[in-house]
Chains A and B, each alone.
Chain A
């Protein structure tokens, strides 16, 4: 496969250069440079409204950006990008897990997971079902396959959403505050599923407020402040000896309790 390479020679799944994005007059992302290598787990932290969700939503084209360069697994996305073939390809190769789960309520758990492989990849029903059952088993909800999403707890729903995204065999997984809508007692089971995924070598880009989890699984932590990357580095550095003032202030606020 033809992979983009950086000057240092490593393969890049995400390459973002001087990316700028505005909502009207509101400049939400400012000159973002970001590279993600295969197998890397990158956690993005920052205050609400800092632009961290918008950042990962640009990667699969749920938000368009106005300036800069973005390449995902070798597929270029253009500013003001409409539904191009490259975008279509990116979406089949990038999985996303949402804060609100966004499961399809009219489909059973199993059908939620088999829909995209069958319609997008042309997988036959038998094979898609086998894959789905294997994935549901992996996230610990094989016994719920025939139920409908609303019959499940929030934690179970989010694990179905993870299985649904994995069914497309993504090269990269995006997590947009996956535990923020969950009751506290259900956060652990979702983080466990994500931790397992990270240990298996999945490339992951995670927006989260779970600092303990970030410290544990991240290879690199990025702190976003007012639409800019204020600081990035290994979790030990960011959490134990943050350099930038905004990072220190943010961490003292969120780690206090």
Chain B
């Protein structure tokens, strides 16, 4: 049997307008989830290094649980499991954002902890010796430096979370992969369409990488 497969560029390009309708969902879940995850990460990352055991233990528990379980299981739990507890359905988009938030939050907690702990002890001592309070020392001296050191790791986490949103096709969110599946169901051009899906992810993640490089270069002035 002579199988000569012809890659159908026309079909590939024809799928793009449809695939693009998934991008707003992918971006919304990613960035809303990461924004909340960043806030969670700051909070739990700082609790994690608190001198109080009562603050440290819950933070460690949170980090281990959400870092140690798959994000797919987390979103299934939120979308299908939580409604049984709450007595009402959860919007798939909300479930996706929540899953990215709690999952990235656990990783970002560790990034925040590492960043803050990487600042030399002398910086804190210099701040305190000038009469700044502990809070002021953190806010004006430790945090700005820690944040700069955290940028590469935060960027890494951002890219991972963006790709994780592709799993949420299973709960029916109309994000990029879901739109691809829907399109293939009528045209059967799996190769072409998934290649385009992959390209679109690459466009998003490469843009983020470029933006971070710019930010890092700017942030490193004077370091």
Contacts and interface: CB of A to CB of B under 8 A. Distances in A.
B131 interface: yes
Contacts of B91: none
Name the residue in B127, B132, B144, B222 with the highest tally of chain A Cβ atoms < 10 Å from its Cβ.
B222
A95 B223 contact: no
B125 A102 contact: yes
A102 B142 CA distance: 12
A53 to B, nearest CB: 12
A164 B131 contact: no
A102 B132 CA distance: 15
B222 A88 contact: no
A116 B122 contact: no
A100 B122 contact: yes
Interface string A91-116: 11111101010111111100000011
A120 B145 contact: no
Given A102-B126, A104-B126, A116 B132 contact: yes
A257 interface: no
B133 A88 contact: yes
Contact of B222 (A62, A92, A149): A149
15 contacts: A62-B129, A91-B129, A91-B130, A96-B129, A102-B122, A103-B126, A105-B145, A106-B222, A108-B222, A116-B130, A119-B136, A119-B140, A120-B130, A148-B222, A148-B223
A65 to B, nearest CB: 17
A119 B223 contact: no
A203 to B, nearest CB: 16
Interface string B97-129: 000000000000000000000001011011111
B129 A95 contact: yes
A151 B221 CA distance: 10
B141 A60 contact: no
A164 B131 CA distance: 12
A150 interface: yes
Contact of A105 (B127, B128, B133, B222): B222
B144 A165 contact: no
Interface of B: 120, 122-123, 125-134, 136, 140-141, 144-145, 148, 221-223
Contacts of A107: 222
A115 B130 contact: yes
Contacts of A61: 128
Given A98-B126, A106-B223, A168-B130, 12 more contacts: A60-B129, A62-B128, A88-B131, A91-B130, A91-B131, A92-B130, A104-B126, A104-B145, A116-B130, A151-B222, A164-B130, A168-B131
A83 interface: yes
Nearest to B121: A102
B149 to A, nearest CB: 10
A116 B123 contact: no
Contacts of B126: 96, 98, 102-104
A100 B131 CA distance: 19
Nearest to B122: A102
A255 B120 CA distance: 34
In the A-B complex, the 3 residue pairs with the smallest Cβ-Cβ separation, listed nearest first, are A148-B222, A92-B131, A102-B126
A60 B126 CA distance: 11
A150 B136 CA distance: 23
A62 B145 CA distance: 21
Nearest to A94: B129
Nearest to A118: B140
B144 A106 contact: yes
Nearest to B126: A102
Given A98-B126, A148-B222, A150-B222, A106 B145 contact: yes
A108 B130 CA distance: 17
